[in-house]
Amino acid sequence: MDAVTDQLFEERKQKIYRFMQDVLYVPMRQKEIAAVLQIPREEREELRKILEALTEEGKITVSKRGKYSLNKEIRLTGIFRANLKGFGFVTVEGEDEDIYIREDQTNGAMDKDTVEIILTRAGSGRHREGRVRKIVKRGTARVVGLFQMNPGKNYGFVLPDNQKLFHDIFIPAERSMGAADGHKVVAELTFYGDGKKKPEGKIVEILGHVNDPGTDILSIVKAYDLPAEFPEKVLNQAVRVAKPVSPADMAGRKDIRDWQMVTIDGEDAKDLDDAVSLVKEGDHYILGVHIADVANYVQENSALDREAFERGTSVYLADRVIPMLPHTLSNGICSLNAGEDRLALSCIMKIDPAGRVTDHEIAETVIHVDRRMSYTAVNKILEDQDPTEREIYRELVPMFERMGELSHIIRERRKKRGSIDFDFPETKMILNEKGEPLELKPYERNTATRLIEDFMLLANETVAEDYYWQELPFLYRTHEAPDDEKIRALAIFIHNFGYSMHVGNREIRPGEVQKLLTKAEGTPEEPLIARLALRSMKQARYTEDNTGHFGLAAKYYTHFTSPIRRYPDLQIHRIIKDHLRGRMNEKKTEHYRSILPEVAKHSSETERRAEEAERETIKLKKAEYMQKRIGKVYEGVISGITKWGMYVELPNTVEGLVHVVSMKDDHYEYDERNYELAGVRTGRRYRLGERICVRVTGADRLQRTIDFEIAEEGEEDDGKENRHEADRQ
């Protein structure tokens, strides 16, 4: 149809729909509608097409007798998220709660498909249910998995790594690219299955044999569609712009190269995007947080910028980093390397003895970092008072001591306003050259890591508040208040441990959660309560509207401090620089307002993708590590309870499942209200937070799962020996 005919068709369609919405309308056949509306015979074919279109859109329905009536069903479109057990949930944009889809109502939908659903149970919140009416758009085009050739046959199958894809994919021999049994491959789906026939596909890439070093992580990279290589055009552009800082680059900038300044990072960090300085003026602290001026090198809409936007963030996997920017920039001219002039965007804050920022300046600067410090060295200086370290860095020790003082002051101030500090240990992995895990241990926070965290949080808040009151388009890091139902469930549960929370009619205050965590500090149930409190929280995200950050109890918050590895930081650097240079005219303002919603949405999505890939990598390496420890006994803490069993976490952060089937001393039932497994006959109860001994019975790298069973009595000696091993890890 041409545009005019198309418009005419739409107008007539609306006219028919309005006619059927009339209160006097009764269900009619096509012929009856034509008679009532006096549609001439030659236009009845168009009427048929209009009725078909309205039916397809779900606005009207047709009975078996051919009568058309308004569709009173509620139809919604969203993203289907499959569950390992066969059912799923549909996330609809703008709706707070997902819609539950029973296993027999999925209509062949696969994980990540865009689907149209019909609500079968309206209710409110989590009580809504639906069925998939049709698949609007497939969310999975390629699948990563293990290839298995059918012996003696001219076909094979790909077993998907993603456990939420429930069917193997049929691969004819001529579409196998010569893949052999045991190869990890990428298969492109050519047919999605129809309930009778399995999905079919063709192999487009062979990643290597399942046992080859690095194939496991590469499979995760491909599964999450992480862009591993930079296009040549982007690499060439990075080389062209990565020129040493020249006098022309410094023109118009605040020159603070004579300020005493350091970077403090992990020993293996190469992309150093923040430096800190601190002096005292009377009883006030002058804290400088100096951030690499990446926007100077990555111009908006350049090949570099478009690639950085697509990536959204750097991804840190067990054996590799997939950077947002090429190494020429991220480890070179944009990295604040000691002893070299660098361009920066600085947030210089004047802070009173109570930790309040009384004045600040945001400026384009030229800096020169004195020393590259590690968290370990700074911790030795401040916490251990190590004489050797203090001697090596003696000219910097007074500044570090001031930093220690100020960090304590601003942390206490943040705590008083109700900021929540979830101190969960991340997993630190040590791999050998083949990528095999040699050691797993908690990555502990210390005085130095907290110090940098405090300074970065303060700079992020200061910048966010400044630009909020400027009323300029900006990107904020926001965190909504938790869901009422989840908080009330938490309040009921903690009551069992003798704790209480004030949950009023209005939304909960972050201070209440923080008070609870403080009360539980040092108790056996602390990790459990912290974990449940965290599960009741929503996820932080990027938005162009400032709605505050619940977890930090902050009215204003943004991400300003990591433009090398996060796109939102780079985006707001551009806005800040345009404002500082007086270029934020009406045209620029409108430009930023138009692009920020998409930047916020895409950045939040790429952040989730990176987190999921990182989590999968850690789970994979933990399973690989425990494969070599089958039969060993460890002491752990019950970290989760479900109707199918209980999860136990070991001191080295490994978590495994004790399945109820393996608990042979009794029949155990799940007490959802108290998060317990209760023995029907013996009355034995297993509770969250309880310490128990477990034996490793299995570990599956492909499914990323670890299985435990409760260690029997009489194995205490073996247990003690292995518990010490776990503690060393």
Of 265-274, 360-369, 516-525, the least confident? 516-525
Rounded to whole angstroms, how far apart are CA atoms 70 and 77?
19
- For residue 135, the one-letter residue type is I
Rounded to whole angstroms, how far apart are CA atoms 158 and 135?
23
Q: Span 294-322, mean pLDDT?
A: 95
Of 97-101, 127-131, 174-178, 703-707, the least confident? 127-131
Rounded to whole angstroms, how far apart are CA atoms 263 and 336?
8
Q: Span 654-658, mean pLDDT?
A: 94
Q: Per-residue pLDDT for 637 more than 90?
A: no
Q: What is the pLDDT of residues 440-455, one digit of tens each?
A: 888 778 899 999 999 9
Q: Is 158 exposed, middle or buried, given 0-12, 13-18 or 19+ CB atoms closer than 10 A?
A: buried
Report the pLDDT value the prediction gives residue 504, as an integer from 0 to 100: 64
* Orientation of helix 447-469 relative to helix 375-382, angle to 10°: 110
Report the pLDDT value the prediction gives residue 498, as an integer from 0 to 100: 79
Average pLDDT, the chain: 88
From residue 176, alpha-carbon distances to 72, 154, 212, 473 in Å are: 48, 10, 20, 51
Q: Span 490-512, mean pLDDT?
A: 75
Of 284-298, 416-430, 664-678, the least confident? 416-430
Q: Per-residue pLDDT for 723 more than 50?
A: no
Confidence of residue 519 (pLDDT cuts 50, 70, 90): confident
Q: What whole-number percentage of the chain has pLDDT above 70?
A: 94
Q: What whole-number percentage of the chain has pLDDT above 90?
A: 56
3 state SS of 83: coil
Q: Per-residue pLDDT for 122 more than 70?
A: no
Confidence of residue 1 (pLDDT cuts 50, 70, 90): low
Query: Which residues have C-beta within 8 Å of that of residue 725, sequence separation ≥ 6?
Result: 632
Q: Per-residue pLDDT for 321 more than 60?
A: yes
Report the pLDDT value the prediction gives residue 727, as an integer from 0 to 100: 35
Q: Which of 65, 61, 113 is nearest to 89 (CA)?
A: 113
Rounded to whole angstroms, how far apart are CA atoms 335 and 293?
9
Report the pLDDT value the prediction gives residue 605, as an integer from 0 to 100: 94
Rounded to whole angstroms, how far apart are CA atoms 395 and 260?
10
Contact 610, 321 (CB under 8 A): no
Confidence of residue 505 (pLDDT cuts 50, 70, 90): low
Q: Which of 288, 405, 428 is nearest to 354 (CA)?
A: 405
Q: Per-residue pLDDT for 124 more than 60?
A: no
Report the pLDDT value the prediction gives residue 487, as an integer from 0 to 100: 79
The phi and psi torsions of 549 (rounded to 5 degrees) equal -120, 105
pLDDT, greater one: 102 or 349: 349
Q: Per-residue pLDDT for 556 more than 60?
A: yes
Report the pLDDT value the prediction gives residue 722, as an integer from 0 to 100: 41
Order across the sheet with 685-687: list the strands. Answer: 668-671, 676-679, 685-687
Bridge pairing between strands 183-191 and 200-209:
antiparallel
pTM metric for this prediction? 0.82
How many CB atoms neighbour CB 90 within 10 A? Answer: 25
Q: What is the pLDDT of residues 358-413, one digit of tens each?
A: 999 999 999 999 999 999 999 999 999 999 999 999 999 999 999 999 999 999 99
List residues bridging with 652 in a β-sheet. Answer: none
Contact 359, 350 (CB under 8 A): yes
Rounded to whole angstroms, how far apart are CA atoms 464 and 474?
8
Q: What is the pLDDT of residues 158-185, one digit of tens each?
A: 999 888 887 899 999 899 998 989 999 9
Report the pLDDT value the prediction gives residue 533, as an integer from 0 to 100: 80
Q: What is the pLDDT of residues 569-620, one digit of tens each?
A: 999 999 999 999 999 999 999 999 999 999 999 999 999 999 999 999 999 9
Structure tokens at 232: 């040549």
Report the pLDDT value the prediction gives residue 715, as an integer from 0 to 100: 59
Report the pLDDT value the prediction gives residue 2, as an integer from 0 to 100: 65
Report the pLDDT value the prediction gives residue 639, as an integer from 0 to 100: 82
Structure tokens at 456: 């970065």
Q: Span 8-35, mean pLDDT?
A: 88
Q: Per-residue pLDDT for 720 more than 70?
A: no
Q: What is the pLDDT of residues 328-369, one digit of tens each?
A: 999 999 999 999 999 999 999 999 999 999 999 999 999 999
Query: Which residues have C-beta within 8 Å of that of residue 633, sequence separation ≥ 6?
Result: 693, 694, 695, 696, 711, 715, 718, 719, 722, 723
What is the full DSSP assignment across 83-126? -TTS-EEEE-TT-SS-EEE-GGGSTT--TT-EEEEEEEE--SGG
What is the full DSSP assignment across 693-725? EEEEEEEETTTTEEEEEEPPTT-HHHHHHHHHH
Structure tokens at 654: 């490994």
Confidence of residue 507 (pLDDT cuts 50, 70, 90): low
Confidence of residue 717 (pLDDT cuts 50, 70, 90): very low
Report the pLDDT value the prediction gives residue 729, as an integer from 0 to 100: 34
Q: Per-residue pLDDT for 718 more than 60?
A: no
Q: Which of 554, 512, 551, 552 is nearest to 534 (CA)?
A: 551
| Chain centroid, CA 190 distance in Å | 30
Q: What is the pLDDT of residues 463-489, one digit of tens each?
A: 999 999 999 999 999 998 887 777 777
Question: Which DSSP state fits 257?
Answer: T
